[in-house]
Amino acid sequence: MDAFIKESYFYPKKTVKKVTPLSLDQLIKECKKQHTDAQEILYRQYAATLFSLCLKYCDNRASAEDTLQDAFIIIFEKIGQYKNKGSFEGWLKRITINTALQKYRKQKIFKTTEEAEIEEVIEVEDEGLPLAFLLQLIQELPDRYRLVFNLYVLDRFSHKEIAKMLEISEGTSKSNLARARKILQQKIIQQRQSAKSNQG
């Protein structure tokens, strides 16, 4: 297992290409038997998708590499628990996200203070901005705001689910989301003002 997990995850194109003679159900069945050939096929089929997820939740590339490796080890250990109900890719993503979040739970970044809930709904006006710029702004958010923003906005978890995943209250989840949106809104306004000044 380690041989193909520890090889480069920064994927030559062949790791992204989804070519396998097995159906997904057959592939899962073979992985449940701990067949390494099937495990390697599954790794190559989903590594790129899950690594992108790791990059979103980790604060640097090295941490994302470690998280991907840890996530696949857990996936292969727990694949017997997958009951072929619901999206298999969704199951893989949930394990990967939980693996990434585990580091932050250990650091207890949410335990310093329980933040007061903010009722105001702040909309981020991102129209016309490059996607790469928006993703960079999200990555620059403080961890506790970035994690909640990613979980709620990008991966569509509810505040109830986020509270359970991060071991915080729903109110803290909502307030962290609001603060994340406020920071993003301020940075976008600054960027637009700077662009106007340069044009002038």
| Ranges of each domain in the chain | 2-107, 131-199
**pLDDT confidence of residue 60:** 87
pLDDT tens-digit map of 157-175: 999 999 999 989 999 999 9
H helical segments located in the chain: 2-5, 24-32, 36-57, 61-78, 88-107, 131-139, 143-149, 159-166, 170-199
pLDDT at 34 over 50: yes
Residue with tokens 């590499």: 65
Other Cβ atoms closer than 10 A to 164? 13
Report the chain's mean pLDDT, rounded to a whole number. 82
**pLDDT confidence of residue 131:** 78
pLDDT at 117 over 90: no
> Under CATH, to which class is 131-199 assigned?
mainly alpha
Eight-state DSSP code of residue 151: I
Q: How far apart are CA 191 and CA 200, in angstroms?
A: 14
Please determine whether the domains at 2-107 and 131-199 fall in the same fold group of CATH: no
pLDDT at 55 over 50: yes
**pLDDT confidence of residue 9:** 38
Phi/psi of residue 115, nearest 5 degrees:
-80, 140
What single-letter amino acid sits at 6?
K
Least Cα distance to 74 among 101, 48, 108 occurs for 101
**pLDDT confidence of residue 44:** 95
Q: CATH second-level architecture of 2-107? A: Orthogonal Bundle (1.10)
Range of weakest confidence among 4-18, 111-125, 182-196 = 4-18
pLDDT at 14 over 50: no
Residue 13: pLDDT band with limits 50, 70, 90: very low
